[in-house]
Structures are given as C-alpha cells and as structure tokens.
Amino acid sequence: MSELFIGFFLGWPAVVVTAILAVIGLLRDNYRFLVAAAILALPFSWLLSGFPIIRSPVFLLPLLLFASGYFINRGREMIAWLLAVPYFLTIWLLINAVSAQ
C-alpha cells in the first residue's frame, strides 16, 4: 500500500498531474491550482535533484510555480507565464530523455 503512495508522489502520475494543474491555473488565472501543482512537484523534484545529496538545481523548480502563483494573484499574468515556461521545458526534457531510452 505504501508503494502505491510512493509511486504516486514520486512517479509519472505526479509529473502529469502537476503539469495539468499548472496549465489549468495559468489558463484560468487561478493561483490555487499553481500552488497545488508546486506542492505536488516538491517530492519528485527533490528526487530528480539527487536527494539526499543535492547535486542539481532541479529542486528549485517548484519555486517557479510558487512564484507564478504569486504573480497570478497580483494580476501579472505575463510574468506568471514566463516563470512557468522553464518548468514546462524541464518536464518536456524529462519526457524526451525517458522516451529516448
């Protein structure tokens, strides 16, 4: 049972749900979806960074979503979109790297 939860929070379901929540939050201009996506992105971004020894700045990716939610809340949609682009590009890179194997 615990393996199911670990797989959900660290595996591909978390990546897909996070990307969907982020897109919904940006399209609807709703910061709550972006904050939920950032919280859900924390476990797998820490895993991708090489946790427990942090070897790459990937663990900072959820901060982009938090900042995007902040700017959506303040009414600055363009800055929110610009902050979310590196997150989506990283997810796209991850998908391409896994599919190339």
Q: Quick check: is 101 in a domain?
A: no
Q: Quick check: is 88 in a domain?
A: yes
Q: Quick check: is 13 in a domain?
A: yes
Predicted confidence at residue 28, as pLDDT, reads 94
Predicted confidence at residue 1, as pLDDT, reads 65
Q: Quick check: is 20 in a domain?
A: yes
Q: Quick check: is 18 in a domain?
A: yes
Average pLDDT, the chain: 87
Main-chain dihedrals φ then ψ at residue 100, nearest 5 degrees: -80, -10
**Domain of residue 76, residue span:** 2-96
Q: Residue 9 above 70 pLDDT?
A: no
Distances (CA, A) of 40 to 19, 33, 46, 49: 10, 10, 11, 15
Predicted confidence at residue 5, as pLDDT, reads 67
- Count of structural domains, the chain: 1
pTM of the predicted model, to two decimals?
0.85
